[in-house]
Amino acid sequence: MSAVAERDALVEQAEFDAFVVARSKVLLKTAWLLTGDWQLAEDLVQTALAKTYLAWDRIRDDGDVEPYVHRVLFTTYVTWWRRRWRGERPAGELPENPERDDPYARADLRDALVEALAALPPRQRAVVVLRYYCDLSEADTARALGCGVGTVKSQAAKALARLRDSALAESIQEGTPP
Amino acid sequence: MSRLTEDDLVAALHRIVPEPGDLLELPAAVRQRARGMRARRRAAGAAGLVALAVGAGVLGPALLGGAPDSTVVPARGATSPATTTPTPSGTPSWVLSTPTPEAGTVLVTLRARPLRLPALAPGARCPVSAGRTFPRGPRMFSARFTAVGTGPVYLAPGPTVTFEFPPSPGSIGEGSGWSAAKVGWVVRSPYAGPMLIRGRRLDGPQELRFDRYLGEYLYGQGGPRPDPDMAYRDSSDAKQLRVYLGELRLRSPGCYAVQVDGSTATGAPVRETIVFRAEVARR
- Do you know the residue count of chain B? 283
Per DSSP, the three-state class of A159 is helix
Which DSSP letter does residue A132 get?
I
Tell whether A129 is within 8 A of chain B (Cβ).
yes
Per DSSP, the three-state class of B70 is coil
Query: For residue A171, which amino acid is it?
Result: S
Instruction: Specify the pLDDT at position B34.
Output: 82
Q: Which residues of A touch B245 (CB under 8 A)?
A: 39
Q: Residues 6 or more apart from B6 whose CB is under 8 A from it?
A: A132, A160
Reported as type and span, the H/E element at residue A25 is: helix A3-35
Contact call for A39 and B215, based on CB within 8 A: yes
Residue B221 has pLDDT above 60, yes or no: no
Q: Which residues of A touch B33 (CB under 8 A)?
A: 46-47, 49-50
A170: confidence class by pLDDT, cuts 50, 70, 90: confident
Contact call for A113 and B13, based on CB within 8 A: yes
Give tens-digit pLDDT for B108-123.
788 888 888 888 888 8
Instruction: Specify the pLDDT at position A16.
Output: 86
Half-sphere exposure of B131 (CA within 13 A, CB side): 16
Instruction: Specify the pLDDT at position A150.
Output: 93
| Pairwise CA distance, residues B157 & B148, whole Å | 7
Tell whether A174 is within 8 A of chain B (Cβ).
no
Tell whether A164 is within 8 A of chain B (Cβ).
yes
Across the range A82-98, mean pLDDT stands at: 42
Q: Which residues of A touch B7 (CB under 8 A)?
A: none
Task: List, as ranges, residues 52-111 from A with C-beta within 8 Å of B.
Answer: 53-54, 76, 79-80, 83-97, 106, 109-110
What order do you get walking across the sheet with B145-148 strand by strand?
A: B131-134, B145-148, B153-156, B179-187, B242-250, B209-212
Contact call for B170 and A84, based on CB within 8 A: yes
| Pairwise CA distance, residues B193 & B271, whole Å | 12
When scoring A21, A78, A93, A106 by the number of chain B Cβ atoms within 10 A, the one with the most, hence best to mutate, is: A93
Give tens-digit pLDDT for B90-107.
333 344 444 444 556 777
Which DSSP letter does residue B171 get?
S
Contact call for A85 and B214, based on CB within 8 A: yes
A116: confidence class by pLDDT, cuts 50, 70, 90: confident
Contact call for A89 and B281, based on CB within 8 A: yes
| Pairwise CA distance, residues A55 & B138, whole Å | 27
Which of A101 and A35 is assigned the larger pLDDT? Answer: A35
Residue B262 has pLDDT above 50, yes or no: yes
Which DSSP letter does residue A86 get?
G
